[in-house]
A and B are shown apart, each in its own frame.
Chain A
């Protein structure tokens, strides 16, 4: 295709570069999934991982530049580094699992700063090495062929990245556990390294020993997999890496607990939650016939069955979760039950069926995926699907004895959003606050209603009047701040509040982090050349847009975990033809950089318009096509900037670094700062602003 592999001397090195690309992307995606399980599983953690990865990659690249000229690059050393790269993912994943419980108290969650430090340190060896190997491969090639173009390495690496993304998204994700995936993804690197050693004339015994040891470590990883997941309480009754995350069932004596991505979701012995969830809502309705339940709670079906509904539609996004819940008896099959494995919001938006009650059993809106069920648009959809007198019910963590300020804002935002669509909104306090919303009047005398219906309960009938007193109900009502901003898809106010609450829980603030990062970025920007700035802004734009697309996709579709690999793959895939075209076709490089910058600005403008006008009807293919075009332009700019700076070893590493550091900055800026505080439209405007600066700089210099 690109005549990249035509020269025999270059073949083994380029194979190593491709295999490194495959390994790095698969490892990155597996690392993200592992961290989501081991730590707070929100998009901010994803952003921290990508940030650490890219910054360390940039540092690794800079280190390789420092070594240029100090010693002759050697294929054998490259081979040795590649062997290290092949085995490091195994060690990295096992290390993350082992150190999680060594450095932090078992069973406890971890705050932002320790999470960031942990991510930064555990990913450092691999990410630094990845950053080092890419330019070092170029130096090895240039040692025998001094004129070898730097762009070829960029293209070859992108080829590997695309292959890695596709391998993970379409194959490994569906069939293999993390360490099995590591084994498969790194076999290519091992084979390429073996070929490199053979080609460079390394002693056969050394070649065999080296690759043999690496193979041993890769195989060992598979056997360590189950052991490294072994719980400290009880035994692991079930384990599966589903497309959406890790599912475990923990058995401690007779109790079964469903663990989703490392967090206990519910157990089979928790009747009080099931009772509150069902009866607070259904007690209000005279004869509920059709009920929709989005995600389940242990014991919920038995409580629903007490009303003898005609149909209970139970929505669970992940088929593996519903399968395991029934298999272990965590929820029971009742008459009229239909299990629907689909995104709950998408289902509601498309169904024609009306419900007497819609009951949500969802976690706190700490991720964009969950936030979609607490927004203005969702409540609008839910209202349309409720029958006359129907009720929407859900709960949020909150008020037992005191409502802290972030919680108050959260509850107020949801209350205000809900009140725009429903005439009556009732909040019942407790360890969880229950929200009931209906167009018909709502009452707080729930035990009395249950008694009239002849429904017996264990918890509600005997605890309700002690826990949910009129004083508490009124006090909670008084605490609602009517001026709190509502929560929408595009301006996710709740995400910002949850983010602040996360910090409040650990008595820290994100501002120190933002200030330090801004100072480091400004220092870096002060010292770089204009071409580097273009690539810095391009990296920032590429990753910023990628994050924007991921979040927007999450907002509009809500099942990012399945498609994240696909989106990342498309972004990587665009770089390849872009870089090839940029390398192949000439023209005034500065003008072309200006033009492409202008196109990127235009494209982002189109994106903003699309979000505002037709957000929910944007098809997946449009998201993917958009990502492909943006990344193609970013890929196009790399060889152009490279040619402007002279394509020396030093220039290549500087540009690689600028691209990576820009990408890191874009990741954090967009996901941690701009989207939570200002929404996705403002995030896109920020990217336009950045590219505008780049365009002006290049235009002035042209």
Chain B
């Protein structure tokens, strides 16, 4: 066997020894996962030719839509503004063009009904310790990768087990259950707008509140109409980045911000929820910008909940949010001027309690769904008489 010469040996050795340096150089780039990773826009598309042949006996004509030529229609409920030819189904899966008429397919057919504590929504400044009759119908106009209720939000109305419960029956059932409110929740109520607004209208007549738990992806006109009947809302502000909205949720940021402005203008009590997804929504600078926008456009009084993320649905390969990240965001938000910032999905964390924004004393201590301490008299702080934003009942809270 021929022995290699000295020069060849040096070349080979140099080549081999240089590899760690090479690997470090190549691998030193700072990865930005929202830029490089996967699909940039997961927004839902309409389902061509997927509409039922004829409306079911419960189907209800769409609340707001425009008729075009060739019996096409444009749904006007959400910013997707689905253009549907006859036989097409909307991106939210709940509307269909049947012979030139837009129908809501989930009207009167809830797929989930429960009696929940109102704190579960989460709503911390709305009639604490009361029960809320909660219902959902199938469908959603988003495609959130971490959806907790994907079995119903990402399903068509005919694909899930449904009950028959018309708005008047909902109100009767809610009253019977001793609930003080009806929550349209779990999936996305915007996708069953017609059902929700009829429930809210009837509930108001019977003295029940209606709560809208939503992603806020709705157009101005239907929202203004809805505001006539609802009493409270929790709207998700999933991030303060249009890019992340498109990538993780399949929506856009701007329409959601407009929703907040309208709710604020109409004087509806609402709380905001921000799910802190590690690596995507855990940027303090983004949270700072978000708080600045809230303060400039909505004021300091709307409660803001920072929720802990847990691996869910398709986003199941990320770790949960560290608790200290939520604590930091809460502090950051309060430092910026938001008066009521909360930590959520962390059992019995101090950040779940309500402190008076004026005297800083403990107003409501929350242990899960229990309230061991309640220091409000009507809508005022017991200690300094400051008005606390929210919908408070003038009654004794069971502590």
Contacts and interface: CB of A to CB of B under 8 A. Distances in A.
B37 A102 contact: yes
Contacts of B269: none
Nearest to B22: A220
A195 B118 CA distance: 77
A431 B161 CA distance: 19
B116 interface: yes
Interface in B34-78: 34, 36-39, 42
B23 interface: yes
A269 B323 contact: yes
B112 interface: yes
Interface string A197-216: 01000001100100011011
Given A227-B23, A404-B152, 18 more contacts: A105-B42, A106-B279, A107-B280, A108-B315, A208-B4, A220-B19, A232-B279, A233-B319, A250-B319, A257-B319, A264-B317, A264-B318, A270-B320, A463-B368, A466-B369, A472-B114, A505-B313, A507-B154
Interface of A: 101-109, 198, 204-205, 208, 212-213, 215-216, 219-220, 223-224, 227-228, 230, 232-234, 250, 252-255, 257, 259, 262-264, 267, 269-272, 400-405, 407, 431, 458-459, 461-467, 469, 471-472, 505-507
A107 B279 contact: yes
A458 B347 CA distance: 7
Contacts of B145: 105, 108
B176 interface: no
Please provide the 9 A-B residue pairs with the shortest distance between their CB atoms, ordered closest to farther.
Answer: A462-B368, A404-B151, A105-B38, A466-B369, A255-B322, A107-B318, A223-B23, A463-B368, A257-B319
A220 B368 contact: no
B347 A459 contact: yes
Nearest to A408: B161
Interface in B340-399: 346-348, 367-370
B36 A102 contact: yes
B148 A400 contact: yes
A276 to B, nearest CB: 11
B111 interface: yes
Interface string B285-326: 000000000000000000000000001011111111011110
Interface of B: 1-2, 4, 8, 11-12, 15-16, 19-20, 22-24, 26-27, 31, 33-34, 36-39, 42, 111-112, 114-117, 119-120, 136, 145, 148-152, 154-155, 160-161, 186, 247-248, 278-280, 311, 313-320, 322-325, 346-348, 367-370
- Most chain A beta-carbon contacts within 10 A, residue among B11, B23, B120, B248: B23
A205 B19 contact: no
B319 A402 contact: no
A401 B112 contact: yes
Contacts of B155: 404
Contacts of B19: 216, 219-220, 223
Given A101-B38, A233-B279, A267 B314 contact: no
B20 A223 contact: yes
A401 B114 contact: yes
Contact of A401 (B27, B33, B136): B136
A453 to B, nearest CB: 19
B349 to A, nearest CB: 10
A498 B359 CA distance: 54
Contacts of A102: 36-38
Contacts of A198: 1-2
Contacts of B322: 252-255, 269
Nearest to B1: A198
A618 B323 CA distance: 50
Given A253-B325, A269-B323, A469 B114 contact: yes
Contacts of B348: 458-459, 462
A444 B72 CA distance: 54
B279 A267 contact: no
Nearest to A110: B314
Contacts of A459: 347-348, 368
A463 B36 contact: no
B135 to A, nearest CB: 10
A361 B288 CA distance: 40
Contacts of B370: 462
Contacts of A104: 37-39
20 contacts: A101-B36, A106-B37, A107-B280, A109-B317, A208-B12, A223-B19, A227-B24, A230-B27, A233-B278, A253-B325, A257-B320, A263-B317, A264-B319, A269-B320, A269-B323, A272-B347, A402-B149, A402-B151, A403-B151, A462-B348
A219 B16 contact: yes
A212 to B, nearest CB: 5
A223 B63 CA distance: 62
Contacts of B36: 101-102
B368 A105 contact: no
Contacts of B320: 255, 257, 264, 267, 269-270
A19 B150 CA distance: 50
Nearest to A463: B368
A469 B22 CA distance: 60
Contacts of B115: 469, 471
Nearest to A104: B38
Nearest to B2: A204
Contacts of A215: 12, 15-16
Contacts of A402: 111-112, 136, 149, 151-152, 160, 186
Nearest to B36: A102
A347 B116 CA distance: 43
A98 to B, nearest CB: 10
Contacts of A220: 19, 22-23
Contacts of A472: 114
Contacts of A106: 33-34, 37-38, 279
Nearest to A464: B368
A569 B343 CA distance: 54
